[in-house]
Amino acid sequence: MRRVVVVSNRVSLPEKKSGQAGGLATAVAPLLQAEGGLWFGWSGKVHEEAEDQPLGFAQAGRVRYATFDLSPAEHEGYYNNYANGVLWPLLHSMPELMRFSRADLAVFEAVNARFADLLEPVLAPDDLVWVHDYHLFLLPRELRERGVENPVGFFLHIPFPAPDIFALLPNGADLLEAVLSADLIGFQTEADLLNFAAAAESLLGARRRETTRLLWAGREITLGVFPAEIDARAFAERAAAAAATAPVERLRRSLAGQSLILGVDRLDPSKGLVQRLEGYRRFLETSPAWQRRVTFLQIAPLSREKVASYQALRRELLMMAGQIDAELGDPDWTPLRVLTRGESRATVAGYMRLAQVGLVTPLRDGMNLVAKEFVAAQDPDDPGVLVLSRFAGAARQLEAALLVNPTDPDSIAEAIGRALAMDRRERQRRWRVLWEGLVDRTPEEWGRDFLHTLERVAARRSGAELGPLSGGRSAPFGAVRPALAPGLFFSRSSNAVN
């Protein structure tokens, strides 16, 4: 089997692992440990001499890690200012939060080039190269310019906006041209795929062949939808075990019989936290019978603290929380608790199992694995209710949740009331539908689906047919679910579109 080379902005080094690991690490690490391979990217360290340092290597199990450091100027221009100050808000359809400068773009381009300079010498001819996320949009082209002919796949973990929004990015056409040097480009949802294809058509003049193949610069690029998954069984076991731990027991005692509403998100403008708190406030104001019978715990660890929009959000969120507690609380009842520090994944899993309502209401999200984790954490005999944004990628798989428009506080308030009043039989019925949609899928299968497809695409390009990755369960390339548009490729594990 070919070696898998995962390339990401940040590498989850084995000695750095903590109970808070999530996101990309949760999705990719199990596959790499199962299949073996190389994980390449930024170490997370920042220092002045970084640009002169060689790659550092480490080994853990079947995974080899290759990392390098960033200089302060690179970290500021590439990571804080361009990746997270421009691309993140734009791709989440929040262009008003963009702060574009050509100087930051130049640093972003230089860091993507440094990724390629350091990666190219460690690649073997048969490696499968899997590039992850918006930080590295330019890397496929940088690799091709250095003579890399390996199969290159790119997966976007966050949404892709409508073409007219993406067109607001001054270097949008160049970014699209760079990522189209990949052989396979993957997305979380059908909507993201279609938005990307339309942007490539309008900004570059690319031509679409069927739905999932783009013709550009004499090449054919394949597009696919691969919804990221969790290991639902493992998370359910973790939540059940955590329910008896000291942190969860302390929270249980502090509730004194009140129902727990729980939110778990990074403190980020895309997560709809301000609108969520306003929805909770409306619920308390319009349903006074629930006052003193419910507590809302919002865990919102700080992130990207040097980005201005994140600083502003923190101030607004804490001010709102203070107002809600001051105006609606009592001396012996605090309606809202906000934590801006992280908790371990095990503890959060225990909190989820304890909660009667999970509030997951992003304004826009690529997938949102927290929603899936909340479902997996529940006690099947007495499950809580998931209130989920229609604009999270997970909503296409979790339609038995209570779906809301996150910009409408009244919609959130009504869903909270409905969730708290729901009888056990309906809660069990909804939970079973949600659970059955998650239980047979794993991150390993998600990764194998993508890589198997990449091998198929590479084989088509070279004229040779290759077998699947070990353990793969993918459908033949080009397999189409009957209800989908002709030619639309979805991974076997996907039921993201009905």
Whole-number pLDDT of residue 28: 83
Report pTM: 0.89
Active site residue 365: yes
Domain limits, the chain: 4-225, 232-436
DSSP labels for 418-440? HHHH--HHHHHHHHHHHHHTTTT
Whole-number pLDDT of residue 15: 67
CA distance 265 to 408: 19
Give 156-186 pLDDT, tens digit per residue.
Answer: 999 999 999 999 999 999 999 999 999 999 9
Active site residue 157: yes
- Alpha-carbon distances of 195 from 175, 186, 208, 423, rounded to whole Å: 15, 12, 12, 40
> 232-436 falls under which CATH superfamily?
Glycogen Phosphorylase B; (3.40.50.2000)
Read off the DSSP letter of residue 55.
P
Nearest to 347 by CA among 310, 297, 417: 297
Strands 219-225 and 213-216: antiparallel
Whole-number pLDDT of residue 472: 40
Main-chain phi, psi angles of 104, to 5 degrees: -65, -40
Catalytic residue among 75, 132, 157, 452: 157
Whole-number pLDDT of residue 483: 30
Asked if 434 and 387 count as a contact pair (C-beta separation under 8 A), the reply is no
- Alpha-carbon distances of 41 from 28, 131, 317, rounded to whole Å: 13, 10, 33
- The list of the chain residues with pLDDT below 70 reads 1, 15-23, 464-498
What CATH number was assigned to the domain covering residues 4-225? 3.40.50.2000
Cβ-Cβ contacts under 8 Å for 194 (sequence gap 6 or more): 211
DSSP labels for 439-494? TT--HHHHHHHHHHHHHHHHHHHHT---PPPTT--PPPTT---TTSPTT--B-TT-
CA distance 425 to 404: 22
Nearest to 454 by CA among 35, 153, 216, 6: 153
Catalytic residue among 183, 231, 268, 365: 365
Whole-number pLDDT of residue 203: 97
Read off the DSSP letter of residue 100.
-
- Alpha-carbon distances of 368 from 2, 220, 389, 390, 422, rounded to whole Å: 30, 30, 10, 11, 24
